[in-house]
Amino acid sequence: MTSTRAAMAPVDRGEDRGELVRRATLLNRLTIGWNAVEGVVAIGAGIAASSIGLVAFGLDSGIEVSAALILAWRLHQERREGCKLDADDRAQRLVALSFAALAAYVSITATVDLVGGHEPDASTLGMVIAAVSLVVMPVLAAAKRTVAHQLGSQAAVAEAAQTNVCTLLSAALLVGLLANAVAGWWWADPVAGLAIAATAAWMAVRTFGADSLEHTCCS
């Protein structure tokens, strides 16, 4: 099987790499802006509707912002001379920890709601934000993944993967919200929350176990 290292084709120096860093920075700023708005709206709508699925989605957006800020720090290291491997590894582990934190919180809260029979209200605003995210996230994730592979940064790959996971979470959330609003299936909301938690846990393990990239060191 082709390794992660072999699959990447980084540009290590010169104007080409500088352009890649600028593109990665622009995409990173778009990620921060979008997820900041999405997180505030989702958490607000989730609190209003007592929906753990929406709150979990909003928290994931917040963690996406934190991961993007971590990546911003990682990209800033490109201004330094010498090996970038240590910076990349630290950033990668911090992204993994953000996944783990989300999984722990949401799994506990969603289980309590499911066992306790907590019935959330329908949320039109929540369904709108989930639907819009379902359109925006795949496009943003694809662009970030392409640049990350060209840079040869595992931290950037991990952060792009987190954006891609947001697409799956948007779909799970939208299904749960629609099921509750249309069919009155209150349990679909905490189940959507548990799906978000399980996905976040999987991504935490995957990110922790990802290969470091020897070619993040410029020779």
CATH at residue 88? 1.20.1510
Give the tokens for residue 191: 């189940």
Secondary structure element (H or E) that encloses residue 139, with its range: helix 124-151
| Separation between Cα atoms, residue 187 and residue 110, nearest integer Å | 10
pLDDT in tens, 129-153: 999 999 999 999 999 999 988 888 7
The pLDDT score that the predictor gives to residue 176 is 94
The pLDDT score that the predictor gives to residue 163 is 85
Q: Is-contact 134 171, C-beta < 8 A?
A: yes
Residue 1 belongs to a domain: no
The pLDDT score that the predictor gives to residue 130 is 95
Residue 4 belongs to a domain: no
* Identity at 156, one-letter amino acid code: A
Range of the domain at 109: 12-210
The pLDDT score that the predictor gives to residue 129 is 95
| Separation between Cα atoms, residue 211 and residue 173, nearest integer Å | 31
For the chain, which residues score pLDDT lower than 50? Answer: 1-9, 11-15, 213-219
The pLDDT score that the predictor gives to residue 190 is 93
Residue 166 belongs to a domain: yes
Residue 18 belongs to a domain: yes
- Quote the radius of gyration of the chain (alpha carbons, Å): 18
The pLDDT score that the predictor gives to residue 149 is 86
Residue 216 belongs to a domain: no
What is the number of domains present in the chain?
1
| Separation between Cα atoms, residue 180 and residue 124, nearest integer Å | 11
The pLDDT score that the predictor gives to residue 210 is 66
Residue 124 belongs to a domain: yes
Residue 2 belongs to a domain: no
The pLDDT score that the predictor gives to residue 87 is 67
pTM score of the predicted model: 0.79
The pair phi, psi for residue 68, each rounded to 5°, is -65, -35
Give the tokens for residue 128: 């709108």
The pLDDT score that the predictor gives to residue 196 is 85
| Separation between Cα atoms, residue 28 and residue 197, nearest integer Å | 24
Residue 160 belongs to a domain: yes
| Separation between Cα atoms, residue 31 and residue 69, nearest integer Å | 10
